[in-house]
């Protein structure tokens, strides 16, 4: 499912216009993006939480050539699956 399909499904399920559905979806993901950019945590009960994890510089290797490369410090959004989602997705 992609963003457009999510918008269509929301239009139908929530019985709102397509433009409104698009705006709701946009607000939802923009809010999460902005929070992560600020370094804030995101916690959506039942779905997931996100926080930004900082990685220090380290020496890695190019898996193809075996060459050593220095990886600069970086930040990555780290995802943690929520309890309800975890239980629903896993085999029963």
CB of 4 to another protein, least distance (A): 9
Among 43, 57, 61, 83, binds another protein (CB under 8 A): 43
Site string for another protein, 10-29 (x = CB under 8 A): x--xx-x---x--xxx-xxx
- Give 28 or 58: the residue with its C-beta nearer to another protein: 28
Query: How far is CA 82 from each of CA 1, 14, 22, 37, 87, rounded to the nearest angstrom?
Result: 19, 23, 25, 21, 9
Task: Write the burial class of residue 21 (CB in 10 Å: 0-12 exposed, 13-18 middle, 19+ buried).
Answer: buried
Q: Residue 62: phi, psi to the nearest 5?
A: -70, 115
Residues binding another protein (CB under 8 A): 1-3, 6, 9-10, 13-14, 16, 20, 23-25, 27-29, 31-48, 50, 52, 74-77, 79, 81, 84-86, 88-91
């Amino acid at each position: 499912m992609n963003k457009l399909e999510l918008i269509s499904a929301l239009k139908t399920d929530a019985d709102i216009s397509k433009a409104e559905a698009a705006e709701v979806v946009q607000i939802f993901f923009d809010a999460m993006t902005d929070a992560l950019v600020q370094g804030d945590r995101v916690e959506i009960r039942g779905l997931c939480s996100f926080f930004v994890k900082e990685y220090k510089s380290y020496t890695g290797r190019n898996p193809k050539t075996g060459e050593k490369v220095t990886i600069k410090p970086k930040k990555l959004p780290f995802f943690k699956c929520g309890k309800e989602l975890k239980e629903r997705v896993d085999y029963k």
